[in-house]
Amino acid sequence: MDSYKCAKVVEILTSMIVFPNAKINIGLNIVKRRYDGYHNLETVFYPIKINDALEVVVSDKLRFTSSGNSIPGNPADNLCLKAYHLIKKDFDLPPVNIHLHKNIPIGAGLGGGSADAGFFIKALNEVCQLGLSVETMQNYARQLGADCAFFIDNKPVFAFEKGDQFEPIELNLDAYHIILVMPPIHVSTTEAYSGVHPKPITHDLKITLKLPAEQWKGLVKNDFENSVFQHHPQILSVKEALYKAGAIYASMSGSGASVFGIFSKKLDLQELETENQVFYDV
């Protein structure tokens, strides 16, 4: 791409605050292991209302700071910084000050880090007036992680291959109430994948999700659950508690550890409250 100077637009727009949201996986089928070490899968990404806050400010030096939930690892490896350096290969970007207030639980299967990266790309596009199309931003995001590209358009999609290829899907759960429970457990992606065994799909997820949510139980499955539940029975207990409280469908999201329940009516969270678990009405 041609280089792009941001100097002329700094006077117009020097900062932006965005609110990256989480996602849940509705159904997750591990189809086969790929030659590159990844797995082909099929799932539906559905955005939910648990948000981080991300500020991008044109500055004299590239900086990354964070607050809120503690983010493990080296801050220099944060996906927002990686996104900046990736785009800077093609555009003459100014330094920016990035501040992330982390609220989305980490190690939860909610895509929080991917959301931050996707929303950062969109914010940088606006701040520097890069004129990137949705497709171009998605292509940048795909280089950062399998589900990062989802957060560019941020609408329900059927995801396949590594989880980075999408088809639109008509799915609206606004008539229901979604409760998400985060137990005090961190499930690493490596741990989750170590226990799964790819297998042929028995139910077409796109067709099954056309059924009312009341009919999903037993048909819409997450292939990570069997192995994760064996190592972390507390997560299974959360799923069982959601069904006991009246959920019409409940599932672990992604590789865990969060579990969500879909209810036909609003739930009194006191029915589920136990020590150390965090609840979200999304």
Catalytic residues: 23, 147
What are the tokens at 212? 């009312």
Burial class (CB in 10 A: 0-12, 13-18, 19+), 170: exposed
What is the C-alpha to C-alpha distance for residues 156 and 25, in angstroms, rounded to an integer? 10
* Distance spanning both ends of the chain, measured CA to CA: 40
Whether omega for the bond prior to residue 247 falls within 30 degrees of 0, making it cis, is: no
What is the C-alpha to C-alpha distance for residues 215 and 145, in angstroms, rounded to an integer? 32
What is the C-alpha to C-alpha distance for residues 277 and 112, in angstroms, rounded to an integer? 18
Residue 95 DSSP symbol: P
- Helix ranges (H only) for 58-156 are 79-88, 112-127, 134-142, 150-153
Q: Are 101 and 67 in contact (CB under 8 A)?
A: yes
215 backbone dihedrals φ, ψ, rounded to 5°: -105, 5
Q: Are 239 and 256 in contact (CB under 8 A)?
A: no
Residues 6+ apart with CB under 8 A from 212: none
